[in-house]
C-alpha cells in the first residue's frame, strides 16, 4: 500500500484502538494511522486531514459511528473516503442500516487480524 494512504481509527476503547493500529502497522508499515476516542474528535480530524479510510466503532459516547457516517456522507468532499464500521452487534437489521447510511462495510468485534488485513 502507498505511503500516502492514511487511516483514521475511532473507538472509545483504547485496547481496540491499539489492536487495530498494531495490525495495520505490522501488515502495512507505510500506511499512516491516527486514532480518535469518539466520533466528534474523529470528525474534526476528518475535516483537517481528509484520511482515505475511516474505521469507526458503532457505539461510542459523544458521537457514535452512525452519526459520524451520516456527517461524512452528507459532505460531497468526502465521497472518496472508505467508511468501515466496527460492531459487536450481530443484528442483521443494524448492519443493513449501517450500509444504508453510507458505510462501505463493517468489521465484527472482537477484531480479527485476518479480516482487517
- Under DSSP, the state recorded for 83 is E
For 15, residues 6+ apart whose C-beta sits below 8 A from its C-beta are: none
pLDDT of residue 95: 79
Dump pLDDT digits (tens) for 98-109: 888 899 998 888
Question: What's the burial of 100, exposed, middle or buried (CB within 10 Å: 0-12/13-18/19+)?
Answer: exposed
Question: pLDDT grade, residue 3 (50/70/90)?
Answer: low
Place of cell 495490525: 23
**H/E stretch holding 113:** helix 113-116
pLDDT at 13 over 60: yes
Amino acid at each position: 500500500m502507498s505511503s500516502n494512504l492514511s487511516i483514521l481509527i475511532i473507538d472509545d476503547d483504547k485496547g481496540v484502538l491499539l489492536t487495530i493500529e498494531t495490525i495495520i502497522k505490522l501488515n502495512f508499515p507505510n500506511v499512516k494511522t491516527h486514532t480518535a476516542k469518539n466520533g466528534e474528535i474523529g470528525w474534526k480530524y476528518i475535516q483537517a486531514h481528509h484520511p482515505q479510510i475511516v474505521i469507526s466503532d458503532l457505539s461510542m459516547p459523544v458521537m457514535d459511528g452512525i452519526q459520524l457516517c451520516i456527517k461524512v456522507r452528507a459532505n460531497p468532499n468526502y465521497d472518496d473516503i472508505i467508511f468501515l464500521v466496527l460492531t459487536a452487534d450481530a443484528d442483521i437489521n443494524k448492519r443493513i442500516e449501517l450500509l444504508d447510511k453510507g458505510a462501505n462495510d463493517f468489521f465484527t468485534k472482537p477484531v480479527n487480524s485476518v479480516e482487517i488485513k
